[in-house]
Amino acid sequence: MTTQLEHARQGTITKEMQIVAKNESLPESFIVEHVAKGEIVIPCNPGRPNQVVTGIGTGLRTKVNASIGTSSDICDIGLEVEKAKAAREEGADTLMELSAAGDMDEIRRTVLANTDLGVGNVPLYQAFKETIRKYKNPAKLDPEYLFDLIEQQLEDGLSFMAIHCGINQYTIERLRKQGFRYGGLASKGGTYMVAWMDINKKENPLYEEFDRVCALMKKYDAVLSLGNGIRAGAIHDSHDRAQMAEMVINCELAELGREMGCQMMVEGPGHVPMDEIEGNIMLEKRMSGNAPYYVLGPIPCDTGAGYDHIAAAIGAASSARYGADLICYITPAEHLALPTVDDVREGVRATRLAARIGDISKYPDQRENEKQAAMARRDMRWEDLDKYLLFPRIANKVREKRAPAKKETCTMCGDFCAMKKGMEVFEKDITYKR
């Protein structure tokens, strides 16, 4: 199959590129140019023709991913479908189905049938869980089974995959030589692959046979997201030698994958203190040739449990500002429990707001919407204000529940309204009008 990357290099403008250009209000030539360079990816498996087409990368709005999935403690397909629908309703751009319990084939296919978002996953989850079921020992994972499973999942219609190709014996040696970590290992797939390599004394097959991974992804024109299996799970581990070793390898693999015609993303952390976020993104962009960067938050502190969606939103706003392209949401349940439907909604909202804040700084032309919102608020044009808000339904619900005595004001100030008084004083002098 000819991939979006290969089409762009041939100068062909695909239907998907046209949709991205329209959605982003950018020239089609811009999209083609940056897809050809590997700076924009379009995760859109042709096996799911009715899915939402989303562009991720240079010059585009920062996108938001929502993750769902079962665990051994809570395994309910209906609940995961509810979460998928909630994520879509709240404005998520992509979805990751990360189940680690139950009939994972059935769960994946059911979720795919109940959302039109592009869906991704981590194939190592199912590979290790099924191996444990069969042999009671994850170290017995058969690499051939892993590659077969990746193809099966792609055949089901996945549009991107987080695959841990950057873990190798060199990265593991860095962990040992630095005395492990303050926060341990945070990636489930990455940790189980490290354990497999340690017990079997073998190289990571996903690294060793990287060309085979790319061939499978190309066959379905799915985006290969180079998983961050050694990502920091604590800010004191941020940018340690193990994480940096994997980042270097992933950035090299991104270049190799593009040479093979495969759409590539690089994944990042994780837990990163605020003062290191800019540097982290600069390093990924420089070393990968500006490949789209997919980050988890990041969370800039380790003590916000219960409010980690807020901590992550702070990190995500900074990430978007400095060039991250896709942000994986964090919910209030992070580090505590499997998220509920309400947690999913809060996580998407917080991350969308963070991405918006970052984009306002990254793209000055994005500020026009904020100006219009400010003028509508100044003029007390509440119905017009709705058009510019990220969450108009929620804003209206709050306002209706605490309705003011005078329709033009709100109960925050009542008849002591600064906006109303300011308009009375300066109405004849107003220069900035809609």
User: Which sign, positive or negative, has the C-alpha torsion 344, 350, 351, 353?
Assistant: positive
> With 80 as the cut, is the pLDDT of residue 433 above it?
no
Do 241 and 344 reside in the same domain of the chain? yes
> Is residue 316 included in any domain, yes or no?
yes
Higher local confidence (pLDDT), 414 or 433: 414
CATH, residue 334: 3.20.20.540
Do 315 and 372 reside in the same domain of the chain? no
pLDDT, tens digit (0-9, with 9 covering 90-100), for 389-430: 999 999 999 999 999 998 889 999 999 999 999 989 998 888
Nearest to 434 by CA among 386, 392, 389, 379: 379
What is the DSSP track for 101-124? Answer: SS-HHHHHHHHHHT--SEEEE-HH
> Is residue 434 included in any domain, yes or no?
no
> Is residue 324 included in any domain, yes or no?
yes
Do 48 and 179 reside in the same domain of the chain? yes
pLDDT, tens digit (0-9, with 9 covering 90-100), for 170-195: 999 999 999 999 999 999 999 999 99
Report pTM: 0.96
pLDDT, tens digit (0-9, with 9 covering 90-100), for 128-151: 999 999 999 999 999 999 999 999
Q: Which long-range contacts (CB under 8 A, 24 or more apart) does 200-208 make?
A: 200/139, 203/168, 203/169, 204/164, 204/165, 204/167, 204/168, 204/169, 205/143, 205/146, 205/147, 206/146, 206/163, 206/164, 206/165, 206/167, 207/165, 207/166, 207/167, 207/168, 207/249, 207/253
Cβ-in-10-Å burial (0-12, 13-18, 19+) of 414 comes to exposed
pLDDT, tens digit (0-9, with 9 covering 90-100), for 292-315: 999 999 999 999 999 999 999 999
Cβ–Cβ under 8 Å, residues 158 and 99: no
For residue 424, give its domain range: 368-429
> Is residue 67 included in any domain, yes or no?
yes
β-pairing, 264-267 vs 40-41, is unpaired
Question: What residues contact residue 350 under an 8 Å CB cut-off, 6+ apart?
Answer: 309, 310, 312, 313, 329, 330
Instruction: Please give the pLDDT value at position 434.
Output: 67
> With 80 as the cut, is the pLDDT of residue 202 above it?
yes
Average pLDDT of the chain, as a whole number: 96
Instruction: Please give the pLDDT value at position 428.
Output: 85
